[in-house]
Amino acid sequence: MNSQTKNKPVRTGWPKLDEQKAWLELISRYEYDLFVTLTFREETERWLAEKRFKKWIAALNIDLFRRRYKQSGRGIRYAVVYGNQKRGTLHFHALLGTKGLKKLDREYMAKLWKCNGQSKNGILLDRIVNGHADIKVYDPEQGAKHYLANHIFQGGEFDIFVPRKEERARPVASRLTYK
């Protein structure tokens, strides 16, 4: 076997299965700390849902790294899948990872999601804007990566983000969106 055929990915002949394997390989390059499911109370357009997710991630980044986290190339890496629940509303499943993320209070993180980061004098409001947040410590043995992959191939869309500091350490695109 020469080096060219040795490094080529194996094709099964089933395009969705090949894409699923490639996606699993991509997200497996990184370590994750949390597995989250984020929902919405009512019908929400995709662009607004994505904006709210990124706002939530930014608020967590500020809690962990202070306001200038982008300039320092730091941040939470994530692999997120956007899909519809049985009742038709959008929801997310995501794997999140970065140093110190497990130390953040998960109850606080859930409340931050529910109120969409709205606060008064530094205290989060009780107003519910988004839906439920289920935040669990990531256990690789539970199969969360495969769960995300299955959502993609049931019609979901995904997004992956890797902070600039980490992308130098591994040769992978810092942002990949599959639609």
94 in any annotated domain: yes
Q: Which of 5-19, 66-80, 98-112, 160-174 is least confident?
A: 5-19
Predicted TM-score (pTM) of this structure: 0.77
Task: Flag whether 15 is in a domain.
Answer: no
User: CB under 8 Å to 21, separation ≥6 — which residues?
Assistant: 9, 12
Mean pLDDT of 16-41: 83
Quote the pLDDT of residue 168. Answer: 55
Structural domain of 124: 35-178
* Tally of domains in the chain: 1
Contacts 24+ apart (CB under 8 A), 56-64: 56/112, 56/113, 56/116, 56/117, 57/96, 59/112, 59/117, 60/101, 60/104, 60/109, 60/112, 63/104, 64/98, 64/99, 64/100, 64/101, 64/104
Coil, strand or helix at 11: coil
Tokens for 105, please give them: 């209070």
Note the pLDDT of residue 167.
62
Domain-located, residue 167: yes
Copy the structure tokens of residue 166.
């980490």
Give the model's confidence band at 53: pLDDT under 50 very low, under 70 low, under 90 confident, else very high: very high
pLDDT at 178: 46
Whether 4 maps to a domain, the answer reads no
39-62 in b/e form (b: 16+ CB < 10 A) is: bbeeebeeeebbebbeebbbbbbe
Higher pLDDT, 38 or 123: 38
- Which of 12-26, 77-91, 141-155 is predicted least confidently? 12-26
- Considering the domain boundaries, does residue 49 fall inside one? yes
Residue 95 is predicted with a pLDDT of 92
What is the per-residue pLDDT for 120? 58
Flag whether pLDDT at 177 surpasses 50: no
**123 falls within a domain:** yes
What pLDDT sits at residue 123? 65
60: in domain = yes
For residue 9, tell me if it sits in a domain.
no
